[in-house]
Structure 1
Amino acid sequence: MDKKALSERDICTKFIAPAIAAAGWDIQHQVREEVTFTHGRVIVRGRLHTRGKARRADFVLYHAPNRPIAVIEAKDNTHRPGEGMQQALDYAEALDVPFAFTSNGDGFVLHDRSVDGGKVETHLTLEQFPAPAELWARYCAWRGLDATSAPKAEAPYYDDGSGRAPRYYQVNAINRTVEAVAKGQQRVLLVMATGTGKTYTAFQIIWRLWKSRQAKRILFLADRNILVDQTKNNDFKPFGAAMTKITGRKIDTAYEIYLSLYQAVSGAEEDKNIYKQFSPDFFDLIVVDECHRGSATDDSAWRDILDYFSSATQIGLTATPKETKDVSSTFYFGEPVYTYSLKQGIEDGFLAPYKVVRIDFDRDLQGWRPPQGMLDKHGQPIEDRIYNLRDMDRQLVLEMRTQAVAARITQFLKATDPFTKTIVFCDDIDHAERMRQALVNLNPAQVKANRKYVMRITGDDAEGKAELDNFINPEVRYPVIATTSKLMTTGVDAQTCKLIVLDQHIQSMTEFKQIIGRGTRINEDYGKFWFTIMDFKKATELFADPAFDGEPVQVYAPRDDEPPVPPDELPPDPGHGEPGSPGAVAGLGDPGDAGAFEGEGAEQGAGRKKYVVGRDVTVHIVAERVQYYGPDGKLITESLREYTRHCVAKQFRSMDEFLRRWGSAEQKKAVIDELAALGVLWEPLADEVQAKTGKPLDAFDLICHVAFDQPPLSRRERAEGVKKRNYFGKYQGAARQVLEALLEKYADTGIEPIEDPRILTLPPFDRIGAPLELVKAFGGKAGYEAALRGLERALYG
């Protein structure tokens, strides 16, 4: 056997898999081949999308289901044994395992991440592959698991037989948390971006601890009724009759799993603190959802509950740990045992990327000063000063500004899809109601078809709150547009929301992250792969703050002489609205903590004087800028031309190199996808170039023109050039008709559609003949593909 002639797959089957089996690994239950553990980043092309390359490990070895401990990267025998090590280590770090192996079929190279001070990489023969017990023992030593804690950490996952398995990062989070509890850690913090399945992760953690009897009685604590109900009815459903929701004033201690709204068990008066009906040692485990809120402060009602059950293990879940000089999640819960960020979720393809549309109004930027003695609509004398963006909808309501925002939203929806689920975040309930009215009046046909096309969903409106479930249900069309203030900031699983509108002064990084999280979920069944953020109040400047997607850094330390500020009196986050800065508003705290529960009690901004000015003061858009989410996790703010030049330069050093690659590619789509993966934004680039040149260019000409300064040729100009050269002269009958139709399709839509063989099923090809007949006209599949390549050479020659 010539080993060097074998493919990588053959090496895996004939040499690597047998060596693993010979070492004692159960091939059926402990070894998985070709494990794809990410989806590939969503790459947006206008209204279309594609995906980047998913990450796939050749082998993953498991101690038990959902307990990976090693990865193996295989290469064919023309490579050296350790040649794939950097890739193997990348996968090992992602999967949170200590052992990375590579092999070319001759032997193995092992990189042991658990080694501290010894030899990290060793060469092994095929016969020296480690046994399962050896790797598990070394894994336990790496994790700090001893003879007592290791068996506890092996508690099984819940498996309903449906084939549903946690994603790789959920496995990491679950295993890290269960291991921490097994080792006796009393407080555990888990940080996972919105939309990554924190509740399902919490369920698996609780299930494993409950089934292993490490926690016999458990309390799941949340701050919104909808969060508790969603949890009980969905992810926690397998707990069945062992689970209850605390609703009344009398506690039944016969259950094992308790779900509760924290407000339902505590209050200002002692008789409302019904959690004290439980003995302090009743619960073994407390899980606090959205723990960045009240439990981050020393004197909150949350903390009273946690302190009362201080003997219980306490796990905090959050997408946005709060770290300011006054409050701290990490001071109470400790450093996160695991963090999965928004950036990583987008890179892996589990979360939706976004584009930002920044819109500036003249009155916001230039300011407005009332004429002397002017009265507002309610007869109040308007204070004589200059009002600008920081005042809008708080101190000053310009009715035409509300109208302008609603008009731009309506324009966007009409140009894309009028039934795009949309959340409009406003400053308070009054603002949300005004926005609802403006949107209703601008969409009379839609509202006539269904009056719930636009709904105000705020804490004070029972009918609006009742529509929240319909809004977030992908199968229910109405409501389409929800205007809100704080109620939908967090805990709303809006899977199909494609438009987030920010007409709210956002001073808290925590709240900003939560709001952006409303759009980050992907729902492939309903075509939700990305979303748009429309920003009217410069809130998206927070994207540039390093704290937006960084690791939480504790800056709070308690002092005996300076108690933490209660959550309803928090000052704005440093750098985003400090007192005296343009974003500061006196008396306003962090809405992520105050008034953000069931009733949105703080929304109205009690005590603030607000002037309302009618339609005689006009408002106009003076600037609009579109920014895109780049492959590095940052918004692209430079011009698309310069950005495209940089992307192309990463792949091609010269135009000649690009031309060679384009000419040699069997499918041009491969080159287009390569550049898209590097960040080229094809559709926006095409739109911008067409606006300037008046010509619709395909991908080839876009790159030649933008990256290499070549004169642009439109698709139609290239097609006409082929016709003039009489390319079709050597073809007759159906074959010639097909090629002429392909050329016309190219002129209309570009190169990618004509490379897709399914095009032969579409008009006008279906009128020429059936796909099989059309291919036969070229002498078969090979002849058709050769003719298509010839057409491409004629187009680009």
Structure 2
Amino acid sequence: MVDKKSLSERDICTKYITPALEQAGWDIQAQVREEFSFTAGRVIVKGRLHARGKQKRADYLLSYRKNQPLAVIEAKDNKHSLGAGMQQALSYGEDLDVPFVFSSNGDGFLFHDRTGLGPQTETQLSLEEFPSPEELWERYCQWKGIDNTARPVVEQPYYDDGSGRVPRYYQMVAINRTVEAVAKGQDRILLVMATGTGKTFTAFQIIWRLWKARQKKRILFLADRNVLVDQAKNNDFRPFGQAMTKVTNRTVDKSYEVYLSLYQAVTGNEEEKNIYKEFSPDFFDLVVIDECHRGSAAEDSAWRRILEYFSSATHIGLTATPKETKEVSNIDYFGAPVYTYSLKQGIQDGFLAPYKVIRVDLDKDLQGFRPSKGQTDKHGHVIEDRIYNQKDFDRKMVLEQRTQAVAQRITEYLAGSDPYQKTIVFCEDIDHAERMRQALVNLNPERVAENRKYVMRITGDEDEGKAELDNFINPEERYPVIATTSKLMTTGVDAQTCKLIVLDRRINSMTEFKQIIGRGTRINEDYNKHWFTILDFKKATELFADPDFDGEPVQVYRPKEGGSVLPGDEGGEAEPVPEGIGDDFGPYETGEEKGEGTEPETPWSSDDPAGPEAGWDTGGPGEGDPGPKRYVVDDVEVEVLAERVQYLDANGDLITESLKDYTRKRVKQQYASLDDFLKRWDRAGRKQAIIEELADQGVFWDDLIREVGDSLGEEPDPFDVICHIVYDQPPHSRKERAENVRKRDYFTEYGETARQVLDGLLEKYAEAGIEPIEDRKVLTLDPFNRLGSPMELIQAFGGKEGYEQAVRELEEALYHQQA
């Protein structure tokens, strides 16, 4: 008879759980996925390298159809209780949006029913009582209110070409919730998904399922940039084949079923430009609006008129940044989002790139600048006597040496990391972007000599710069490296390899801030893009601390009298918003359909033209005398006053304290005393596992060692870093620890070859730390490969077990005393 207590967790799955599923009628090949990993593992930055944190993995994911997940099962070995895995399983159930959660140790199942339809929330089941697929599906449909009419639509599978590209877990949740909402008759739907999380692919799968089920027969997909329409048509939407067309300003062909269009291609200020009116109002039964935070959020927008014309159709809006201000509202039009996948969640799951913030404070930004009495600027204009501060710089007051100081810091950062990493510098306007371009060109003469396009101004007013936009975002093109811009690159630019975002523009719009940050969040494994840096000169990153940055969108707009009101929204005061947050900033967004970031062919009329007369009005106050729109001062020194680095912690929040203080707090949460830490360290089969565990929880080893390096001496061991900064123990370097082992005649009990191997491992430890000596692959490297093959070296210890025992004893000798 098998002793269950001696079986591994995998044995419990194979011998008890899987047979119970088969007996209940589950198709193991089609409906059951074992060891289902559904996240990528958070990116952990290690200097210039990176590692991945642990993936979330459900032991079993059960689906009625392949696109209809219903349940998760968390398995434990039989030394655990029946419900030991329940809390973990419930967490996975929430992520995967499944209502049925099971935990098992092989004796039976603990069943947690999140629908509330059962007699009680948790029930113990025997192995023979596991519910069938049909039973769970019936209960699911009852819970969701999916009737017999809606079921064929909900059960329609997603598109799968067999290439292995299937929706990620959060995309599946977004697709399923949207399809279910449409099947049940909801006609205004909003999806909020962070930049870089695959909104277009998600939209395609939604459309595909509704189209194949014939729930929706003629579909219009609207985007606000030509490149987005073409990318959709040529990539994600390609399976529609001959049923799909792109709408242009020419006469439309009404024989297609799927239409892709630029907003600007189907609307205009003049009646004859409104090509969409060649379609009857009831022609489309589904309209999908990409980047719906833009014109479609405003009641009086020209874009909104398209949606009102096709008002009988179902409208699905997709955005990374829902616009909720006192004037415009996505929620007022679409309703509350059916699903939100945030930047923070994307980073924690490992699908989006984490970032660090370098906040640079310039002396004049903090202290202000006041001209002396009668002081003139470089053009001879008497400067108005008042204090000019950060709000004024590069708008009403140009300090040329400030531009130089910013460009110098950007250049220093690139020189110290990778001078060819793609960089976007966001400036106040076109004139500022041009001055920044000139400063960067002069500070990087060697790079510019290699290629004049090393630095380019990419703004809406200048064709040559705009022509380089595609090269900038193309990972295979090295040039341009640095792009200076104002508004053109804030949205819709798929800059997969952008590693540095420079903020030298005041940003008071949360929508705009999210869009700018989104330029760096994409991961590109092929080009080693896993994280990015934000270099902030104008305190824009203070918006990270605002709850609105990564929280659920909250409606603050209220419709005008006589306008529509959402259910449950009748009456009441508008919820206040922090001053400046969410409101449009300056002149930039007062006419969105004409702005940069909408369609690059049209420049922003509010940006100043670059040229010798940039920044000057033709008439000033009184008597027709000319007066400056902005003063230009070239003889005021500007210096970096302070600089601070902030990192994302394990919860996705920016650390606001020193790394030393943060590490002390994080470690003590897990190991309250030095004794606790030492016991864990001693018991660990692999010391590196503890280092990786702490890194996964937000300890930034490389940056931490740099920050406290002076007090720790040369090449400290992570063990000593923790003992010193957390528990105030005197530190040792790795070389000191290695030498202490040698002094104790540690090797005497071993033969000659074994002693040489152990001495080599000590050298590797002194050079690179504990990680290499815990990996047997080190035996393939110099100097070990000169002593013999890995097998021969292991045999010098009597075999694998003897070698591993010797390594453990070597580690004990290294750490046998903590001080």
* Matching residue within 712, 715, 729 for 1:710: 729
Q: Which letter does structure 1 place at the counterpart of 2:393?
A: M
Give the match for residue 84 of structure 2: 83
Give the match for residue 448 of structure 1: 449
Alpha-carbon spacing, 1:776–1:480, altered in 2? closer, same or farther (3 Å): farther
Distance 2:810 2:90 in 1: 44
Superposition pairs of residues 100-119 of structure 1, within 5 angstroms: 100-116=101-117, 118-119=119-120
Distance 1:289 1:350 in 2: 21
Give the match for residue 57 of structure 2: 56
Distance 1:17 1:130 in 2: 13
Matched, 1:636 2:655: yes
Q: What do the CA deviations read for 1:22-76 (whole angstroms, capped 9, x no partner)?
A: 1111111011111111112122222222222211111111111121111111122
Matched, 1:698 2:698: no
Distance 2:751 2:77 in 1: 46
Give the match for residue 372 of structure 1: 373
Distance 2:196 2:739 in 1: 49
Distance 1:629 1:167 in 2: 24
Q: What do the CA deviations read for 1:361-397 (whole angstroms, capped 9, x no partner)?
A: 0111111122333333334332222111111111111
Question: Aligned-pair distance for 1:610?
Answer: 4.1
Give the match for residue 779 of structure 1: 798
Alpha-carbon spacing, 1:610–1:248, altered in 2? closer, same or farther (3 Å): same
Give the match for residue 216 of structure 1: 217
SS of 2:338 mapped into structure 1: strand
Give the match for residue 480 of structure 1: 481
Give the match for residue 41 of structure 2: 40
Distance 1:773 1:480 in 2: 50
Give the match for residue 235 of structure 2: 234
Distance 2:45 2:488 in 1: 30
Superposition pairs of residues 333-732 of structure 1, within 5 angstroms: 333-560=334-561, 574-575=577-578, 577=580, 587=587, 589=589, 595=595, 596-598=597-599, 599-604=602-607, 609-732=628-751
Alpha-carbon spacing, 1:183–1:584, altered in 2? closer, same or farther (3 Å): closer
Distance 2:444 2:783 in 1: 38
Alpha-carbon spacing, 1:445–1:200, altered in 2? closer, same or farther (3 Å): same
Distance 2:786 2:392 in 1: 63
Question: Aligned-pair distance for 1:692?
Answer: 3.8
Alpha-carbon spacing, 1:332–1:585, altered in 2? closer, same or farther (3 Å): closer
Q: Which letter does structure 2 place at the counterpart of 1:365?
A: L
Distance 2:581 2:165 in 1: 47
Question: Aligned-pair distance for 1:584?
Answer: 10
Distance 1:559 1:674 in 2: 54
Alpha-carbon spacing, 1:584–1:739, altered in 2? closer, same or farther (3 Å): same
Distance 1:275 1:662 in 2: 69
SS of 1:127 mapped into structure 2: helix
SS of 2:204 mapped into structure 1: helix
5+ residue gaps, structure 2, are 566-575, 609-614, 618-627
Alpha-carbon spacing, 1:588–1:156, altered in 2? closer, same or farther (3 Å): closer
Answer whether contact 2:509 2:581 (CA < 8 A) is retained. Answer: no
Answer whether contact 1:508 1:576 (CA < 8 A) is retained. Answer: no
Question: Aligned-pair distance for 1:132?
Answer: 1.3
SS of 2:391 mapped into structure 1: helix
Alpha-carbon spacing, 1:159–1:559, altered in 2? closer, same or farther (3 Å): same
Superposition pairs of residues 166-177 of structure 1, within 5 angstroms: 166-177=167-178
Answer whether contact 1:427 1:603 (CA < 8 A) is retained. Answer: no
Question: Aligned-pair distance for 1:447?
Answer: 1.7
Give the match for residue 297 of structure 1: 298
Alpha-carbon spacing, 1:511–1:602, altered in 2? closer, same or farther (3 Å): farther
SS of 2:64 mapped into structure 1: strand
Question: Aligned-pair distance for 1:587?
Answer: 4.7
Distance 1:677 1:578 in 2: 33
CA RMSD of aligned residues (A): 2.2
Answer whether contact 1:34 1:58 (CA < 8 A) is retained. Answer: yes
Q: Which letter does structure 2 place at the counterpart of 1:720?
A: E
Distance 1:607 1:266 in 2: 35
Answer whether contact 1:190 1:316 (CA < 8 A) is retained. Answer: yes
Q: Which letter does structure 1 place at the counterpart of 2:652?
A: G
Distance 2:71 2:562 in 1: 51
5+ residue gaps, structure 1, are 565-572
Answer whether contact 2:170 2:341 (CA < 8 A) is retained. Answer: yes
Question: Aligned-pair distance for 1:682?
Answer: 1.0
Superposition pairs of residues 201-350 of structure 1, within 5 angstroms: 201-350=202-351
Answer whether contact 2:399 2:636 (CA < 8 A) is retained. Answer: yes
SS of 1:336 mapped into structure 2: coil
Distance 2:807 2:335 in 1: 62
Superposition pairs of residues 723-742 of structure 1, within 5 angstroms: 723-742=742-761
Give the match for residue 569 of structure 1: none
Question: Aligned-pair distance for 1:203?
Answer: 0.6
Distance 1:450 1:228 in 2: 32
Distance 2:454 2:753 in 1: 50
Distance 1:590 1:768 in 2: 73
TM-score (norm 2): 0.92
Distance 1:669 1:590 in 2: 55
| Greater CA drift, 781-790 or 221-230 | 781-790
Distance 2:52 2:760 in 1: 29
Distance 1:488 1:585 in 2: 16
Answer whether contact 2:422 2:482 (CA < 8 A) is retained. Answer: yes
Question: Aligned-pair distance for 1:593?
Answer: 7.1
Q: Which letter does structure 2 place at the counterpart of 1:453?
A: Y
Distance 1:593 1:792 in 2: 65
Question: Aligned-pair distance for 1:562?
Answer: 11
Q: Which letter does structure 2 place at the counterpart of 1:458?
A: T
* Matching residue within 788, 791, 794 for 2:807: 788
Give the match for residue 8 of structure 1: 9
Question: Aligned-pair distance for 1:603?
Answer: 4.9
Aligned length: 786
Answer whether contact 2:332 2:559 (CA < 8 A) is retained. Answer: no
Answer whether contact 1:352 1:531 (CA < 8 A) is retained. Answer: yes
Q: What do the CA deviations read for 1:636-686 (whole angstroms, capped 9, x no partner)?
A: 011222211111112112111111111221211111112112221111111
Alpha-carbon spacing, 1:473–1:766, altered in 2? closer, same or farther (3 Å): farther
| Greater CA drift, 781-790 or 475-484 | 781-790
Distance 2:444 2:777 in 1: 39
Answer whether contact 2:32 2:61 (CA < 8 A) is retained. Answer: yes
Alpha-carbon spacing, 1:307–1:20, altered in 2? closer, same or farther (3 Å): same
Alpha-carbon spacing, 1:149–1:586, altered in 2? closer, same or farther (3 Å): closer
Question: Aligned-pair distance for 1:589?
Answer: 4.2
SS of 2:778 mapped into structure 1: helix
Question: Aligned-pair distance for 1:602?
Answer: 4.3
Q: Which letter does structure 2 place at the counterpart of 1:63?
A: Y
Q: Which letter does structure 2 place at the counterpart of 1:690?
A: G
Alpha-carbon spacing, 1:562–1:128, altered in 2? closer, same or farther (3 Å): closer
Give the match for residue 570 of structure 1: none
Distance 1:560 1:3 in 2: 70
Question: Aligned-pair distance for 1:759?
Answer: 2.5
Distance 2:425 2:37 in 1: 37
Distance 1:33 1:743 in 2: 42
Q: What do the CA deviations read for 1:622-646 (whole angstroms, capped 9, x no partner)?
A: 0000000011221101122221111
SS of 2:22 mapped into structure 1: helix
